[in-house]
Amino acid sequence: MKLLQQTIEKIEGLDQEMVVKARARVDSLIKPPKSLGKLEGLAIQLAGITGKLYPEIDQKAVIVMAGDHGVYEEGVTSNPQEVTFAQTLNFAKGLTGVCVIGKVTGAKIVAVDVGIKGEIPSDAGVIIKKIKNGTDNMAKGPAMTREEAIKSIEVGIEIAHEEINKGVNLLGTGEMGICNTTPSTAILSVLKNCDPLEITGRGAGLGTGGIEHKAAVIRKAIEINKPDCKDGIDVLAKIGGLEIGGMAGVMLAAAANRIPVVIDGYISTISALIAARIEPKAKEYFITSHASLEPGGKIASELLGIEPMLHMDMCLGEGSGAALAFPIIEAACSMMKNMPTFEDVGMEI
């Protein structure tokens, strides 16, 4: 809890003086007003985050948190749980979706075992920060203890700090965990105060009971555990996931270190909601990448209050959407640094 508390205490709002300067520069660039749309707002946000009129984004990393879920035993997915283990090894080999997309901008992919069922080999290229072998079955009791939930957040903080200390100045969040749309939807149901059936989707593959069964399992988990919607850690502990906590930690650490952090799709957005519930100011450092095809994705983004940049009908997870958004963020930086103002080129407006 000490690391989490120290991180929260370091989080401040954006540099408002730099925001004003950045807005003035954007408005004076050689283009019609607002003609570069969301790129302009992104450039201003980056200036406010970094405190620099010309933000530099030259070292990028997507931190992929991996963990399993006890609720798997309720038959909410058709995919074997062993896929979490196998796919996590593939991150280290550079074979997954986020890996090949990340290559476009030279992004580093950092795979972390925060709670996989089974033992990842120590030489596999995966960072081992295992808290437990998957969460407990939330349909029968809390997914984890409050202490374990805090520890999962602190794992994310630790890994983010390690990457920032290596020079990383743009972070992305990703995850791997078979059936993790189930705890994600449970969290959203609690925070939105809606029935699970309204927001439950297929995930990577439905179990034989279909949407109705998956929603019923989520409803049961909420009724049994009674998470406090005002306490993000309580919600995470009772109906969440270790990788969800890990990503929230990455986001909080990014905010504490004035580093922009790119949120991936549905599950990452749920982590962002948890992080923002823990410390609302952290949200100012979030950049949402894409609108997930999951039914709860749009609602989660609306609840977070940040509109995603991309609409690509993606729902892979892994941080794939975050990696896809990296070039847009670099373009915003290039606009600020390399595009002249009307005054620079001697034009009157």
Show which residues are catalytic: 318
How far is it, in rounded angstroms, from Cα 43 to Cα 333?
6
Place of tokens 């009157």: 348
Which whole-number Å values give the CA distances from 30 to 33, 47, 148, in the listed order? Answer: 9, 19, 53
CB 153 within 8 A of CB 248: yes
Cβ(28)–Cβ(315) below 8 Å:
no
**Can you tell me the distance from the alpha carbon of 241 to that of 137, in angstroms, rounded to the nearest whole number?**
10
Contacts for 9 with CB less than 8 Å, ≥ 6 apart: none
Tell me which residue of 141, 161, 340, 163 sits closest to 227, measured CA to CA.
141
Q: What is the DSSP pairing of strand 60-67 with strand 170-176?
A: parallel
Question: Do 116 and 84 form a contact (C-beta atoms < 8 A)?
Answer: yes
Specify whether the CB–CB gap between 153 and 252 falls below 8 A. Answer: yes
| Cα→Cα distances 324→54, 99, 101, 136, 310, Å | 22, 11, 6, 33, 9
Structure tokens at 103: 């290559």
Helical (H) or strand (E) element with 114? strand 108-115
CA count, 13 A, side-chain hemisphere, 4: 21
Tokens read off for 140: 């029968």
